[in-house]
Structure 1
Amino acid sequence: MQETKTLLTPLSETLLETLKKVPNDSGVYHYFDTQGRLLYVGKAKNLKNRIKSYFRFTPTLSPAPNLSPRIAQMVRQIAQLRYIVVKDENDALILENSLIKQLKPKYNILLRDDKTYPYLCVDLQEDFPRILLTRKVFKKQGLRYFGPFSMGARDLLDSIYEIFPLVQKEACKKGKKACLFYQIHRCLAPCEGKITTKEYATILQNALECVENPKKILPLLEKKMLQLSENLRFEEAGILRDRIAKIQQLNPLSSVDFANLIDLDVFALVCEEKRAVLVKFFMRNGRIISSATQSIKSEMGFEKLEIYKQAIVNYYSNTLPLIPKQILIPFDLGDSTQELETFLYEKTGKKITIHYPKSGDKKRLCELALQNGREILRLEQNDEEEIFSSLKALFSLQSTPYRFEVFDTSHHKGAQCVGAMVVYDSKDFIKESYHHYLLEGKDEYTQMREMLSRRIQDFEMESPPDLWVLDGGAGQINLAKELLNSAGVNLEVIGIAKEKLDSKAHRAKGNARDILRDENLEEYRLSTSDKRLQFLQKLRDEAHRFAITFHQKQKQKIMQHSKILEVKGVGKAIQNKLLAYFGSFEAIENTSLEELKKVLSENLANAVFNALH
């Protein structure tokens, strides 16, 4: 890696000298501002040509005249350049995408939603196959996959097993005797030979038809729901009612049939001034089987080419069971088409073409995706948008925060130390992104360092948010900035701390006084009726709740283990002796009698072993 040093001023002579030394190799480049903050990450087949295209060199260094307003604004702030040389353009494309996800540069658009959607699969080589939900690709012949499902896959699968008497559990395959599922008419007991493989195959085929077209199972579920209701089994009927609602939402476009089209994926981007939505359609056998959308926000406009490239690299970097023959995009990717097709071939081993349709059914399909995107933007409304904008102004943030990660710790006299991270995005808490941390540090500062360090290590798997909110004061904020700067991540931090009166937190009823701090440690004491303060308190209180709940579970677990050891002759001193030797109650519970005898007398070892087992 090559990097400039010394004078950090925008478009300086120092930057010019660095530009003269850039090689002609493939690679990834980073632009930084005067404070060393990361502005932009890009990739190039030829670093020298690509980087120089941003600048006009005479009479002085300035932005090139053909740049978009957004990129021209970025170039005016460039004070420092670094670059990494790689083997070829494909490696550069992958590295660029990875660095954008981890480092969150100011002028790159970050697409977070690159998860693998679930599939349903069945092993047709088995005598009595089961339908399974999976996100993995199994290296086995005879597997048939259905999907991907952007939502509702679990509800559909549960409904299949509710209606069709298939083998209900994997363990049933090893059984030799009919179980409870046979008695309640949920299975036909192939384990006792009560159904032939041919009869079972007919039932399985009917079930798979419902997987291919979920609307077929709705009348069957509604009929069973009514039966349960008539029998006053309202709780079970309510479960089926909720499943029906989710399956109805599974794919509202499934009735749109393009008979001449086979296996296609569609990516369509619709942009407004500060908002955009990316729509994905997954078409298999001429029918749109599922769709997904992702909202994107940016105060500096959108580069469509950049977003499409990142979306494709993100999604197809995952190992997918079903690969489309073609990807449709209602936008001309130009020279990037070839490099993306090369990436797809090297990743999947199959030739997947990227097509910009100008007419026919494929164009109509793209228009349908764009139409859905425009409708989503029309309906998208957020009452907290004003709060987010005012938080940006209050703390002088680089950009408006929409995704927040909030951290808190909990412990009791240095024991059962735990940490918690909760996530809030635009409108709601995202509970599937919450994280618990078991911590070794004995004080809050050390615990926060451990928790934040581990979160930074996970940025490659789950990208940084727009803002970190820490339950703490100046020490925690300085710690967070130190860790983020060391990792090179462009992420801002604020703190919320309880006001101290006589060294005690002031939490008067109806008058919660909290102090807010920005990363420059400037304090903000807002009115208790201020919506910005109330919003941040809501975030902090959720993190506190999540941390306390986990702490209590850990404490109960330890108390339970302690009670197990409360046998004759085993007091606190013996427990401490065992913990010092084995390290944890779990290790004590899993050890052998012989190992216990190395620490305790034979009688005590037998007593402890019998109590545990």
Structure 2
Amino acid sequence: MTLKQTIQQLPDSAGIYQYFDKNGHLLYIGKAKNLQKRVKSYFNFTPELKANSNLSLRITKMIKQTVSMSYIVVNSEHDALILENSLIKQLNPKYNILLRDDKTYPYIYIDNSQKYPRFDITRKIIKAADIKYFGPYSVGARDILDSVYELCKLVQKKGCLKSKKLCLYHQIDKCLGPCELPISDARYKQELDLAFELIQNKKQLIKLLEEKMFFYAQNMRFEEAGEIRDRIQRITRSEIKSEIDFATKENYDIFVIQNSESRAVIVRIFMRDGKIISSTHDYIQLNEGYDEDELYQRVLLDFYSKEKPPIIAPILVASEFENLQVIEQHLSTVFEKKASIKIPKQGNKKQLIDLAILNAKELLKKDKNSIDTKLLDDLKELLLLERLPKRVEVFDNSHMAGVATVGAMIVYEDGKFDKKSYRTYHLEAKDEYAQMRETLTRRVESFSKNSPPDLWIIDGGATLLKLASEIVDSCGVFIDIIAISKEKIDAKAHRAKGKADDIIHTKDNIFKLKHSDKRLQWTQNLRDEAHRSAINFHKKTKLKLDNESKLLTLKGISGAKVKKLLNHFGTFEALKTLTIEEIGSILNTKDANVIKNIYF
């Protein structure tokens, strides 16, 4: 069926639609209250099918590349919105805007139903009768809490009261000692009131911390002084200075978006009880143009996607956007109460929006020099990448004669390695090709939880590059892929001897760059980090296997029998779950009983 025939047969139902190019690559995912009307609005049908002249340059470019489409019918526009957002995160289409900010922000809370309440941190609603929340905090929540416990004589740990005995915290004058001493409610409340004041008034908290820092410094306790200095810096990092004075204790979540030619920045500001308590921002690479409507939808859907937030505040945005009412309806479901999204035009709330816009513009100015974008631009041009490689995942495998086989993925984003996003895998495959297929397949299976990057780099040659491309194509995900390998000399790469040059492979070309070429060095640096990660994980796995083997050997199970078991069952972890009969089918009943007694 041709594209024109598919469009003409679309139902007038709610749903999502997907556009594909001539190679079957996914270009765009959209939602519609009425699929037929929405999709037809992209096209003129006479004298031939072509892009509607009223479209933006970005969408016109996309429609010119579109040769086929598919669609999914759903029950409502709201369902279409949720499905669209989920698919965009998993498939990363070329012309959609993908946000990677999937963080949940921490809150400080106190359970006032306790006789001697104490503060703690949460990222979700606590199921208790009398909870008060402070936040959310983009950074510094733990530092604020640690400072409160250093400056206020509260019950320091959850288990303190259970011991019924005075502990070190009382001896160093950090706790009143209600576990054993008759501390009145009024006396404990004095400490609670001070803690409340410090949490809600950062200036007062920082003033007391600075006094403590200077005290440590004067007493030659420089390490402790340095720790408090660093804590002060983290607490102040998320602050936005403001002279806006709200007469009432109002709460607002403020979202604004600003953009340059190549980047957009999202600024979020959180006001609680009439005071700005924290702010956060994220940059987004504009690969195929800017769509503010789509970006506002993504921002709000992603920020409130997890579950009902502990504090529900009215939402302020800088401008009207498409589907605002649908987003509001969705958030009302998440919040379990009516959500409010407003575009203030005057007064204090408009000043909050202006403040956020001012900060967003400053962030865009600073960002111009924060990352070496010229190098990435050069790479994109050389390798004919579809996207600027701002977020990159690099893969490598490691083993020793087929033992302790592992895979590793490292992540590079905005000029630095994102070590929190690194992943390692225990592999069952025996050869290099199958090992890489297993590693990449497991990464693809996690796209629904952790969205795809801009670029994959594979440690290997053209064969592994082709494998990676086939895996990505089979699930419809949009990712640029390259590989880096050693040039073969006498059919060997001589990695350790350094006698072979590195080659960069793309789908259509190979590049033999000079050693001094910054683009090659950048790629090598990422490959070497993946290699280091894989080797380190292999060593840890091998050590654990060796210890397990020694344990079995001490109990009379020979090395040959251990190898036979691993060849059949794969890992020691799998071995521990087997029955005596299953183990006995490979060895004998006596050995099976010995092994079972070791692990149970």
Q: How does 1:348-367 map to 2 (within 5 A)?
A: 348-367=335-354
User: 1:245 matched to which residue of 2?
Assistant: 233
Cα deviation for residue 221 of structure 1 reads 2.1
Does 2:326 correspond to 1:339?
A: yes
Cα deviation for residue 393 of structure 1 reads 1.5
Q: Distance in 2 between matches of 1:251 and 1:541?
A: 38
Q: Work out which of the residue numbers 65, 83, 99 in structure 1 matches 2:53.
A: 65
Given the superposition, is the C-alpha separation of residues 538 and 591 from structure 1 closer, same or farther in structure 2, using an over 3 Å criterion? same
Cα deviation for residue 585 of structure 1 reads 5.3
Cα deviation for residue 20 of structure 1 reads 0.8
Given the superposition, is the C-alpha separation of residues 201 and 453 from structure 1 closer, same or farther in structure 2, using an over 3 Å criterion? farther
Q: How does 1:179-194 map to 2 (within 5 A)?
A: 179-193=167-181
User: What's the RMSD between the two structures over aligned residues?
Assistant: 3.0
Give 1:86's aligned amino acid. Answer: V
Structure 1: give runs of 5+ residues left out of the alignment: 5-13
Give 2:282's aligned amino acid. Answer: Q
Given the superposition, is the C-alpha separation of residues 226 and 115 from structure 1 closer, same or farther in structure 2, using an over 3 Å criterion? same
State the Cα deviation string for residues 402-457 of structure 1 (Å, max 9, x = none): 11111111112212222111111122111221112222222222221122111112
Is the Cα–Cα contact under 8 Å of residues 31 and 81 in structure 2 kept in the other structure? yes
Cα deviation for residue 471 of structure 1 reads 0.6
Q: Work out which of the residue numbers 352, 357, 365 in structure 2 matches 1:370.
A: 357
Given the superposition, is the C-alpha separation of residues 410 and 584 from structure 1 closer, same or farther in structure 2, using an over 3 Å criterion? closer
Is the Cα–Cα contact under 8 Å of residues 264 and 284 in structure 1 kept in the other structure? yes
User: 2:395 matched to which residue of 1?
Assistant: 407
User: 1:544 matched to which residue of 2?
Assistant: 531
Q: Work out which of the residue numbers 448, 454, 463 in structure 2 matches 1:466.
A: 454
Q: Distance in 1 between matches of 2:145 and 2:122?
A: 11
SS in 2 for 1:442: coil
Q: Distance in 2 between matches of 1:143 and 1:577?
A: 58
Does 2:124 correspond to 1:111?
A: no
Q: Distance in 1 between matches of 2:573 and 2:447?
A: 30
User: 1:11 matched to which residue of 2?
Assistant: none
Cα deviation for residue 596 of structure 1 reads 12
TM-score, with length taken from structure 2: 0.92
Q: Distance in 1 between matches of 2:329 and 2:233?
A: 41
Q: Distance in 1 between matches of 2:569 and 2:143?
A: 44
State the Cα deviation string for residues 321-350 of structure 1 (Å, max 9, x = none): 33444211111225x221111111122111
Q: Choose 67-76 or 506-515, whichever is displaced more.
A: 506-515
Cα deviation for residue 566 of structure 1 reads 6.5
Cα deviation for residue 207 of structure 1 reads 1.6
User: 2:8 matched to which residue of 1?
Assistant: 20
Does 2:435 correspond to 1:447?
A: yes
Is the Cα–Cα contact under 8 Å of residues 240 and 276 in structure 2 kept in the other structure? no
Q: Distance in 2 between matches of 1:396 and 1:543?
A: 23
Cα deviation for residue 210 of structure 1 reads 1.6
Q: Work out which of the residue numbers 291, 296, 305 in structure 1 matches 2:293.
A: 305
SS in 1 for 2:58: helix
Q: Distance in 1 between matches of 2:168 and 2:257?
A: 51
Cα deviation for residue 604 of structure 1 reads 7.0
SS in 1 for 2:545: helix
Q: How does 1:275-294 map to 2 (within 5 A)?
A: 275-294=263-282
Between the two proteins, what is the percent identity of the paired residues? 48
Does 2:67 correspond to 1:79?
A: yes
User: 2:546 matched to which residue of 1?
Assistant: 559
User: 1:178 matched to which residue of 2?
Assistant: 166
Q: Choose 184-193 or 427-436, whichever is displaced more.
A: 184-193
Is the Cα–Cα contact under 8 Å of residues 257 and 288 in structure 1 kept in the other structure? no
Give 2:35's aligned amino acid. Answer: L
Given the superposition, is the C-alpha separation of residues 207 and 583 from structure 1 closer, same or farther in structure 2, using an over 3 Å criterion? farther
Q: Distance in 1 between matches of 2:58 and 2:298?
A: 18
Given the superposition, is the C-alpha separation of residues 509 and 447 from structure 1 closer, same or farther in structure 2, using an over 3 Å criterion? closer
Does 2:388 correspond to 1:379?
A: no
Structure 2: give runs of 5+ residues left out of the alignment: none
Q: Distance in 1 between matches of 2:16 and 2:593?
A: 67
Q: Work out which of the residue numbers 29, 37, 46 in structure 1 matches 2:17.
A: 29
Q: Distance in 1 between matches of 2:570 and 2:23?
A: 46
Q: How does 1:418-457 map to 2 (within 5 A)?
A: 418-457=406-445
User: 1:9 matched to which residue of 2?
Assistant: none
Cα deviation for residue 89 of structure 1 reads 0.5
Cα deviation for residue 579 of structure 1 reads 7.0
Given the superposition, is the C-alpha separation of residues 604 and 27 from structure 1 closer, same or farther in structure 2, using an over 3 Å criterion? closer
SS in 1 for 2:240: coil
Q: Work out which of the residue numbers 221, 238, 258 in structure 2 matches 1:233.
A: 221
Q: Distance in 1 between matches of 2:568 and 2:116?
A: 50
Does 2:514 correspond to 1:524?
A: no
Given the superposition, is the C-alpha separation of residues 333 and 578 from structure 1 closer, same or farther in structure 2, using an over 3 Å criterion? closer
Given the superposition, is the C-alpha separation of residues 428 and 602 from structure 1 closer, same or farther in structure 2, using an over 3 Å criterion? closer
Give 2:536's aligned amino acid. Answer: T
SS in 1 for 2:84: helix
User: 1:481 matched to which residue of 2?
Assistant: 469
Given the superposition, is the C-alpha separation of residues 490 and 581 from structure 1 closer, same or farther in structure 2, using an over 3 Å criterion? closer
Q: Distance in 2 between matches of 1:516 and 1:583?
A: 34
Given the superposition, is the C-alpha separation of residues 263 and 506 from structure 1 closer, same or farther in structure 2, using an over 3 Å criterion? same
Is the Cα–Cα contact under 8 Å of residues 371 and 414 in structure 2 kept in the other structure? no
Give 2:270's aligned amino acid. Answer: F
Is the Cα–Cα contact under 8 Å of residues 255 and 287 in structure 1 kept in the other structure? no
Q: Distance in 2 between matches of 1:155 and 1:549?
A: 32
Q: Distance in 2 between matches of 1:188 and 1:512?
A: 68
Cα deviation for residue 524 of structure 1 reads 1.0
Q: Distance in 1 between matches of 2:385 and 2:155?
A: 56
Q: Work out which of the residue numbers 482, 497, 503 in structure 2 matches 1:494.
A: 482
User: 2:40 matched to which residue of 1?
Assistant: 52
